[in-house]
């Protein structure tokens, strides 16, 4: 208390000295308003000097600490200038307490200066909260886990809330609005705020759901059924998700779509180092037929199914031995060209080093449709790399689409001009 009195006396003596100096040597009679202006300018200058000195000393020390530590929190607190915001609050807090002493005799001036100081403090404090939120988000971004999505959306929602209440407090400071009035206004604005920030609220809830259920994170390769979008997730914020498609274009979808739509995350597949092939070939049913001896002789020369054909011929001969009129195809047991080709496909896939032998290899018939009978091939490649996968898949079907001709099978397709010419 004594210290405050001494500062006040010194200030008054200093003020009188300046007034006397201007009157004595420059014959200038300073008015109270003009002198008050000089007082304010001088006071602001002192505050800027305090802020500058503190930043030089403290930030230099913190920079050295940051360089000697690998702590992510320290690094991002420094990068996001959190310490700078804290330093800015020191002279403003000092000003809030000293304004009463310096301008107590100037009622109107004091209220104006005090309000401006409070507004500046509010802005600086809001800036500090924003920078702290950005720091938290950056730390979790470094981790890049499913929790990051929840932290990011929560942080962005918190920014909305901080801005909203900062505006309300700013209005209270500027216009000296009573608390009861503000509460009444807040009640009236609630519906409007909910309407304005509806998408943001939905996005916030969706972000928490994504984080909790671990649906997706930044860097994941996903496919969204809505819009048939496929690519790498680049950013997830409270409103939008940015996805880089494989053609290098960027597409955005609402964050809500990650929850409301069917999303396929391919990262689990990539973690295994394998990738599934699931594709079908449609054959003309009219090309299906029982295998005669000529066809079986030809099929037996195919290395991959040599043993199979040989064992099946013995099995069929033994089974049909007691069958009446077994020479007729429909009687007894016989192989079909589509059945033999199906076995060939299985043996072919099992012979490839590019196909995982530890995962299921399935070749099955699908229901017949006007487009023929599809033969579905399902297996896993030994590489999950996209370009390598496409190469392996293409090689397999290049071979099968050509090999089926050796089995007298016809592939269903639209009639081309060359086909018409052959007729």
Q: Are 122 and 173 in contact (CB under 8 A)?
A: yes
CA dihedral 123, 126, 131, 137 (to 10 degrees): -150
pLDDT at 59 over 70: yes
Top-confidence residue, 348 or 142: 348
More confident: 103 or 391? 391
- pLDDT value of position 268: 79
> 394 pLDDT exceeds 90?
yes
Specify the range with the lowest mean pLDDT, choosing from 59-63, 106-110, 211-215.
Answer: 106-110
Question: Does residue 12 surpass a pLDDT of 80?
Answer: no
Query: What is the model's pLDDT at position 3?
Result: 41
pLDDT above 90 (res 182):
no
- 3-state helix/strand/coil string of 40-60: HHHHHHHHHHHHHHHHHHHHH
Beta bridge pairs of residue 376:
280, 364
The residue among 379 and 83 whose pLDDT is bigger is: 379
- Is residue 119's pLDDT more than 50? yes
| Residue 2's pLDDT band (cuts 50, 70, 90) | very low
Count of CA atoms in the C-beta half-sphere (13 A) of 60: 6
Q: Among 136-140, 219-223, 238-242, 413-417, whose mean pLDDT is lowest? A: 413-417
Q: What is the residue-wise DSSP string for 247-289? A: TS-EEEEETTHHHHS-EEE-HHHHHHT-EEEEEEEEE-GGG--
Q: What is the CATH number of domain 145-265?
A: 2.30.30.60
197: left (phi over 0), alpha (psi -120 to 50) or beta: alpha
Q: Which CATH number fits domain 272-415: 3.30.70.100, 3.40.50.150, 3.40.50.720, 2.60.40.1220?
A: 3.30.70.100
Where are the chain's structural domains?
Answer: 31-143, 145-265, 272-415
Give the tens place of pLDDT for each residue, 219-228. Answer: 888 888 777 7
**Predicted local confidence at residue 26, as pLDDT:** 47
Mean predicted lDDT score pLDDT of the chain: 78
Question: What pLDDT, on a 0 to 100 scale, did the predictor assign at position 28?
Answer: 47
Task: State how far the alpha carbon of 285 is from the alpha carbons of 110, 282, 310, 338, 369, in Å.
Answer: 96, 9, 26, 9, 10
Question: pTM for this structure?
Answer: 0.56
Give residue-wise pLDDT tens across range 326-364. Answer: 666 677 788 999 999 999 999 999 999 999 999 999 999
Instruction: State the pLDDT at residue 1.
Output: 39
User: What one-character DSSP code corresponds to residue 31?
Assistant: -
Lowest mean pLDDT among 119-123, 261-265, 312-316: 261-265
- % residues pLDDT > 90 (the chain): 23
């Amino acid at each position: 208390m004594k210290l405050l009195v001494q500062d006040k006396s010194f200030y008054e003596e200093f003020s009188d000295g300046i007034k006397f100096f201007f009157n004595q040597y420059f014959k200038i009679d300073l008015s109270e308003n003009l002198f008050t202006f000089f007082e304010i300018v001088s006071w602001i200058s002192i505050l800027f000097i305090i802020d500058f000195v503190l930043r030089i000393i403290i930030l230099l020390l913190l920079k050295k600490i940051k360089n000697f530590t690998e702590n992510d929190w320290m690094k991002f607190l420094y990068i996001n200038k959190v310490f700078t915001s804290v330093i800015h609050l020191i002279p403003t807090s000092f000003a809030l307490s000293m304004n009463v002493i310096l301008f107590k005799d100037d009622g109107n001036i004091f209220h104006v200066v005090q309000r401006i100081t409070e507004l500046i403090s509010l802005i600086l404090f809001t800036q500090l909260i924003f920078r702290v939120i950005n720091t938290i988000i950056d730390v979790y971004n470094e981790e890049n886990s499913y929790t990051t999505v929840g932290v990011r959306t929560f942080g962005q929602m918190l920014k909305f809330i901080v801005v909203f209440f900062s505006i309300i407090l700013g209005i209270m400071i500027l216009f000296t609005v009573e608390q009861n009035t503000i509460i009444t206004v807040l009640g009236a604005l609630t519906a409007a705020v909910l309407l304005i920030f509806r998408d943001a609220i939905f996005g916030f809830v969706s972000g928490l759901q994504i984080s909790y259920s671990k649906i997706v994170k930044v860097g994941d390769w996903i496919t969204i059924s809505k819009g048939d979008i496929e690519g790498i997730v680049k950013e997830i914020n409270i409103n939008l998700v940015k996805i880089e498609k494989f053609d290098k274009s960027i597409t955005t979808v609402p964050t809500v779509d990650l929850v409301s739509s069917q999303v396929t995350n391919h990262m689990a597949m990539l973690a295994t180092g394998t990738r599934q092939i699931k594709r079908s070939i449609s054959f003309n049913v009219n090309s299906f037929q029982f295998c005669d001896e000529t066809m079986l002789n030809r099929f037996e020369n195919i290395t991959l199914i040599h043993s199979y054909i040989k064992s099946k011929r013995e099995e069929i001969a033994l089974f049909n031995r007691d069958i009446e009129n077994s020479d007729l195809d429909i009687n007894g047991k016989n192989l079909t060209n589509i059945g033999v080709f199906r076995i060939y496909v299985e043996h072919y896939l099992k012979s490839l080093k590019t196909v995982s032998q530890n995962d299921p290899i399935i070749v099955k018939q699908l229901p017949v449709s006007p487009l023929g009978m599809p033969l579905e091939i399902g297996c896993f490649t030994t590489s999950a790399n996209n370009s390598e996968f496409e190469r392996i898949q293409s090689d397999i079907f290049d071979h099968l689409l050509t090999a089926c001709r050796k089995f007298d099978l016809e592939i269903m397709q639209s009639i081309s001009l060359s086909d018409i010419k052959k007729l």
